[in-house]
Amino acid sequence: QVQLVESGGGLVQPGGSLRLSCAASGITLDYYAIGWFRQAPGKEREGVSCISSSDGNTYYVDSVKGRFTISRDSAKNTVYLQMNSLKPEDTAVYYCAAYPKRYSSYCQRGRSYGVDYWGKGTLVTVSS
């Protein structure tokens, strides 16, 4: 059984940092493009970042460029999202998603088409 489990969310003040983790069981994340999405209350789900499976290239939505960093730890079968300089508008439930290679382009564009597996999400609240 495949599972993606996000962790690391919580309450943080504006300007603070969090590191989200997406840990997998039942699949090897190195073989998948991994995307991070978020959904704020009353808003559409938004693709935030993606890391490719083949070349490790990374992609970010403009609103998080320079603040968020996506990375992999193959030994731990985990993908991370380091979030710095957090803003109240970053408040959302954050989800990770695994794409097979043939759908990597959708990951890179922040689109959810082609996702094989989703995690259940972790809540990030940025507030003073």
Give CA–CA dist 92/37, Å, rounded.
9
pLDDT in tens, 1-57: 999 999 999 999 999 999 999 999 999 999 999 999 999 999 999 999 999 997 889
- Strands, sheet with 3-7, edge to edge from the N-terminal-most edge strand: 3-7, 18-25, 78-83, 68-73
Give CA–CA dist 9/59, Å, rounded.
21
Whether residue 36 contacts residue 20, with contact meaning beta carbons closer than 8 Å, is answered with yes
Q: What is the DSSP letter of 101?
A: G
Please report, for residues 19, 28, 41, the alpha-carbon distance to residue 70 in angstroms, rounded to integers and kept in the order given. 10, 17, 24
pLDDT in tens, 65-122: 999 999 999 999 999 999 999 999 999 999 999 999 999 999 999 999 999 999 999 9
Alpha-carbon dihedral angle through residues 97, 101, 103, 106, given to the nearest 10 degrees: 60
pLDDT in tens, 4-18: 999 999 999 999 999
H-helix or E-strand spanning residue 104: helix 104-108
Q: What is the secondary structure of 28-87 as a DSSP string? A: -GGGSEEEEEEE-TTS--EEEEEE-SSS--EEE-GGGTTTEEEEEEGGGTEEEEEE-S--
